[in-house]
Amino acid sequence: MTASFLYRSRPSTVVFGPGSSATVGDWVGKLGCKAALVLSTPQQEDQAKALAESLGGRAVGVFAAAAMHTPVAVTETAVAEAARLQADCVVSLGGGSTTGLGKAIALRTDLPQIVVPTTYAGSEVTDILGQTDAGRKTTIRSEKVVPEVVIYDPDLTLGLPVGMSVTSGLNAMAHAAEGLYASDRNPVTSLLAVEGLRAMRDGLPRIVAAPRDVAARSDALYGAWLCGVVLGSVAMALHHKLCHTLGGSFDTPHAETHAILLPHTVHFNEHAVPDLLAPAAGLFGASAGGGLWDFARSIGAPMALRDLGLREADLDRAAEIATANPYENPRPIDRAGIRDLLQRAWDGARPDN
Ligand code: NAD
């Protein structure tokens, strides 16, 4: 029987395809704008300048100081720069860090956003914004930060290093995996989650084999979109909470932490909801957790938290922080169980207990 559900979708525009970033200027015009501020990290400044150049008179400048975790000080500088240049929209070129800056600007100014994602993080299709101020990270959900237009151009991801492609891809897959058992899931988000996982499963190994394979890049970017929509539509649980704990308290890198923990958190929850995770088990092997671990290893992902600089002595405190406040999860969260999960993830062991 089909269970009762609530379904909502967002009125944003998605343009997908190799070469589609050539249409950014058209989309600036379609939004009724004529003065775009192009955003990027310092590492992608050249790419951002080239994009700004391609916009001709429709770009008023490049702000290339986006940084991990959206520091408020950077946002305030960018808002001042947008005002000085009389920008009437922003174009965010990059991964989650740059998208986060665009969202933070939109939150404060209501400027429309066009996002051109170059990783698989998925932030461009969510209403979520994490910001840091004096080292403290806070996360909000607001429709005000949802980008108006997203332009997925696989050509711009050809240079994403293989290691980052793998961890970023597994980061995306984590959104879909947790979407499968989200308490507020609906039939559409479940379809998107399975298709997102499938596209990543098919795309990532081919990227590892041939990083400039446009077809493989297209599959992964398509999967990233679907996984991002799931993240933006339903509640995340244990996996995202643990990644948040490790990133926030021990400064472990975002995508790598997701990549390492995913098989372990899925395995933990598979004990409680094997039926909901059956589509993932079908895609990756006999069990969803074990299958995801085998998949991650086959594409050369980092496998052990110990390799991220986390000390074994930190695991007790991590388990304590992660279980301090109750939150939704299909399997009740107990400290001993989470401590055991963290140990296996720290060791890099296959989750098969
Ligand atoms: P990132 O945006 O920090 O990018 C990492 C580095 O890779 C940067 O230097 C960037 O310039 C570079 N890079 C990006 N694309 C490249 C490409 N194609 N070629 C070469 N270099 C490239 O990394 P990320 O994993 O995309 O984003 C992580 C951040 O996004 C975190 O702060 C995370 O919290 C946030 N995030 C937010 C959401 C949300 O919904 N709000 C979702 C996912 C991630």
56-97 residue pLDDT tens: 999 999 999 999 999 999 999 999 999 999 999 999 999 999
Max CA separation in the chain (angstroms): 60
CA 65 – ligand 1 centroid, Å: 13
- Residue % of the chain over a pLDDT of 90: 93
Tell me, in angstroms, the distance from the centre of ligand 1 to residue 66's CA. 10
Ligand 1 centroid, distance to 183 Cα (angstroms): 27
Give DSSP secondary structure letters for 121-165.
--GGG-SEEEEEETTEEEEEE-GGGS-SEEEE-GGGGTTS-HHHH
Percent of the chain with pLDDT over 70: 100
Q: In the prediction, which pLDDT does 352 show?
A: 82
* Ligand 1, atom 30, residue with closest C-alpha: 96
Q: Ligand 1 centroid to 119 CA: how many Å?
A: 6
Q: 216 C-alpha to center of ligand 1: Å?
A: 20
The band of 353, judged by pLDDT with boundaries at 50, 70 and 90, is low
- Across the range 154-180, mean pLDDT stands at 98
Q: Which residues contact 22 (CB under 8 A, 6 or more apart)?
A: 54
The response to whether residue 287 sits with its C-beta less than 6 Å from ligand 1 reads: no
The answer to whether the pTM exceeds 0.95 is: yes
Structure tokens given for 184: 């507020």
State if residue 94 touches ligand 1 by the CB under 6 angstroms criterion.
Answer: yes
Q: Does ligand 1 have an atom closer than 6 angstroms to the CB of 71?
A: no
Atom of ligand 1 nearest to the CA of 40: 11
Distance 93 CA to ligand 1 centre (A): 10
How many A from CA of 239 to the centre of ligand 1?
A: 19
Ligand 1 neighbour 69 (Cβ under 6 A): yes
Map tokens 């004529």 to a residue: 34
Ligand 1, residue 232: give the atom nearest the CA.
40
Q: What does pLDDT average to over the chain?
A: 96
The two three-digit tokens of residue 42, written as one number: 């310092």
Going by C-alpha positions, the residue among 250, 269, 258, 270 that lies closest to residue 303 is 258
For residue 42, the ligand 1 atom closest to its alpha carbon is 11
- Residue 265's closest CA among 234, 222, 296? 296
Tens digits of residue pLDDT in 96-144: 999 999 999 999 999 999 999 999 999 999 999 999 998 788 999 999 9
Ligand 1 neighbour 25 (Cβ under 6 A): no
* Residue ID of nearest Cα to ligand 1 atom 36: 96
For residue 128, which atom of ligand 1 is closest to its CA?
A: 41
Give me the mean pLDDT over the 194-213 stretch.
98
Question: What pLDDT digit, counting tens, does each position of 317-339 carry?
Answer: 999 999 998 889 999 999 999 99
In angstroms, what is the span from residue 235 Cα to ligand 1's centroid?
21
For ligand 1, is residue 131 a contact (CB within 6 Å)?
no
The closest residue, in CA terms, to atom 7 on ligand 1 is: 95
